[in-house]
Every structure is written in C-alpha cells, then in structure tokens.
C-alpha cells in the first residue's frame, strides 16, 4: 500500500534560516505528490504539488521536486519567516479515488 | 462560494452517545472523503465516496458509518461514541480529475468523555 514518511519535528529555526523538511514515499505507480500546510487553529491548505517525475512545485518561496529515483519530495525554503510557523504535511494521492495518504506532519517554529 | 462546509465546529459527547458530523460541498464534486487528525499520527482516511450512492472504507473505518445520498452531502455517523474517537475530523472533496487538489473543510473538534 501507499505510505509517506516525513521527518519528525518540531523544527525550530530563526527567521531567515534555510528550511528543509524531508519526505519519502512508497506507492504503486506514479501518484501526484503534495505539501499541505496547517496554520494554528485552521484547516489544511494546499501549499504546492508536483504531478510527475522531476516536476518542481513552488509557492510562497517554498519548493519541492518530485524525485522518482529516490522516491522523495523534500520541502525547501531559502529564508523562513515567523509567519511560516505551522504544521506541514507531505501527502500522495491514490489515483482514481482522490484520497490522500499523509505523513505524520512536521511542526515548524520560526523565532524572530 | 462556500467550498466545503463542516458542522459543528466543536462537539462534546458522552461515551455511548451517537451523533452525525455534517459535510457539504457546493462545487459539484464527485469525490468526497473523511479524515481524522490525531497528535503524532497525521491525518488518516476513515471513509470515502467516489459518487452518490458509492462509499468505501479507508484506513480507520471502525466505529463510523457514512452514506452518500446526494452529490453535495457526505455525513459521518458515530453510532456509539468512544473516548478513542476524540479527534479532529476533516472532510474533503475533489472533482477527481488527475492531479487535482482536494479541498478541505475547517474541521470538527470532537471530544468524547
């Protein structure tokens, strides 16, 4: 079956630091990959996605590249802000069913 | 444009009580699903539907029932609530096209005492 593994948190950074959150997956076929973000007290918002190998998804300064050879989809940002503090979820879609398999989430805390 | 609407936002139940979590979407999406979020566990799929009249079990279906009589609505029923069902519940919908994102509701926080 499908599974997603992402690094445990919390990840604590100072403002303007470089961010990497690791995500690896196991799946049948080549599903689309997603990063969702959950701000405190809110629901999930799509941050970015990639639909095929070597695709790079990007949004709000965040990037992730779909790496088929390493089955990875690591999230990166060059300079984090306090407002980026949230929980980040890596996920993949079950093709044909539109359901998601999520990683356990990584909390990011950014201090001024 | 309301998107995916979940009600209630908060609910406290006693063990053994029943209740229905409501989920409605106004985007004419065929695909809908329910997830629960627990600390350190991420989100796990409870039940899903690929269209009106069609439902199936996800990863953690025990203790929950669903039905899909209309395209718009996908209620989640707890027949006899247990403390292990204390969680935050999210409903999601999608048009089902390849690579399309899921739209999430704002969640229902449920406590079972």
- At A56-111, the pLDDT tens digits run 999 999 999 999 999 999 999 999 999 999 999 999 998 888 899 999 999 999 99
Q: What b-and-e string marks burial along A57-83, b requiring 16 or more CB atoms within 10 Å of the CB?
A: beeeebbbbbbeeeebbbbebeebeee
Q: Which residues in chain A have Cβ-Cβ distances shorter than 8 Å to B41?
A: 104
Question: What pLDDT score was predicted for residue B59?
Answer: 94
Question: What pLDDT score was predicted for residue A42?
Answer: 86
Spatial CA neighbour of A26 closest among A4, A49, A54, A8: A4
Using pLDDT thresholds of 50, 70 and 90, give the confidence band for residue A28.
confident
Question: What pLDDT score was predicted for residue B1?
Answer: 64
Q: Which residues in chain A have Cβ-Cβ distances shorter than 8 Å to B91?
A: none
Q: Which residues in chain B have Cβ-Cβ distances shorter than 8 Å to A9?
A: none
How far, CA to CA in Å, does A95 sit from each of A27, A36, B107?
10, 18, 24
Q: What is the residue-averaged pLDDT of chain A?
A: 94
% residues pLDDT > 70 (chain A): 100
Contact A30, A68 (CB under 8 A): yes
**Can you list the positions of beta strands (E) in A15-112?**
19-21, 23-26, 33-38, 44-50, 56-59, 62-65, 75-77, 86-94, 99-102, 106-111
Contact B45 A97 (CB under 8 A): no
Residues forming a β-bridge with B56:
B48
Determine the residue of chain A that is closest to B57 in CA distance. A99
- Which residues of B have a CB under 8 Å from any CB of A? 31, 33, 35, 40-45, 48, 50, 58, 90, 92, 94, 96, 98-102, 104-107
Q: Which of residues 64 through 103 in chain A touch B, CB cutoff 8 A?
A: 89, 93, 95, 97-103
Q: What b-and-e string marks burial along B35-71, b requiring 16 or more CB atoms within 10 Å of the CB?
A: bbbeeeebbbbbbbbbebeebeebebbeebebbbeeb
pLDDT, one tens digit per residue, over B61-91 is 999 999 999 999 999 999 999 999 999 999 9
Contact B23, B104 (CB under 8 A): no
Q: Which two tokens stand for residue B99?
A: 């690579």
3-state secondary structure of B6: strand
Q: Where are the alpha helices (DSSP H) in chain B?
A: none
Instruction: Per residue of chain B (113 residues), give pLDDT as tens.
Output: 679 999 999 999 999 999 999 999 999 999 999 999 998 888 999 999 999 999 999 999 999 999 999 999 999 999 999 999 999 999 999 987 766 889 999 999 999 99
Kindly write down the DSSP assignment for every residue of A2-35, as one continuous string.
-EEEE--S-EEEETT--EEE-EEEE-SS---EEE
């Amino acid at each position: 079956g499908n599974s997603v593994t992402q690094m445990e948190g919390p990840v604590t950074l100072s403002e303007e630091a470089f961010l990497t959150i690791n995500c690896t997956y196991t799946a049948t076929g080549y599903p689309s990959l997603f990063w969702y973000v959950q701000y405190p007290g809110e629901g999930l918002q799509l941050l970015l996605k990639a639909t095929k190998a070597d695709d790079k998804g990007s949004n709000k300064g965040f990037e992730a590249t779909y790496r088929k050879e390493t089955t990875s989809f690591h999230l990166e940002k060059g300079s984090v802000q306090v407002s980026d503090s949230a929980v980040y979820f890596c996920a993949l879609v079950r093709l044909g069913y539109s359901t998601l398999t999520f990683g356990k989430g990584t909390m990011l805390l950014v201090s001024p | 444009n309301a998107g995916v609407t979940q009600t209630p936002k908060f609910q406290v139940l006693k063990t053994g009580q029943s209740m229905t979590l409501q989920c409605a979407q106004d985007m004419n999406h065929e695909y809908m699903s329910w997830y629960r979020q627990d600390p350190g566990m991420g989100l796990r799929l409870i039940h899903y539907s690929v269209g009106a009249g069609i439902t199936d079990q996800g990863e953690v279906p025990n203790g929950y029932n669903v039905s899909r009589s209309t395209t718009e609505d996908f209620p989640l029923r707890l027949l006899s609530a247990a403390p292990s069902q204390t969680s935050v519940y999210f409903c999601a919908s999608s048009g089902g096209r390849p690579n399309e994102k899921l739209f999430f509701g704002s969640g229902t926080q449920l406590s079972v005492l």
